[in-house]
Amino acid sequence: MTREEPEPYNVTEPDFDEITLIANPTEKQKLCMEKLELDEKIKELVAVVASDDFGNIELLKRGRLLRQASIMREYSRILKERIEN
């Protein structure tokens, strides 16, 4: 597995209004928020995988964590596509 960082996505848009976002976010804003949250979780998981302690985790658990990271990255790419299209 390659250890790539999640792709950042800028939610700041010309019509971005934080108050509107909180009260009534658009579909695109919801997707952007979801992607930002997911990318933060990916960073945390990648930090665990890259840590010296990762080798001390049971083999099956390590495999699940690596699989989870891969799936989370794919989900992040799909969210990016949805945001851009």
Summarize pLDDT for 8-36 with one digit per residue, the tens.
555 555 555 555 556 778 899 999 999 99
* Share above pLDDT 90 across residues of the chain, in percent, rounded to a whole number: 68
The one-letter code for the residue type at 28 is K
Q: What is the pLDDT of residue 31?
A: 94
Nearest to 38 by CA among 2, 3, 68: 68
Lowest mean pLDDT of 6-10, 30-34, 51-55, 73-77, name the range: 6-10
Residue 11: count of CB within 10 angstroms of its CB:
14
> Residues in the chain, how many?
85
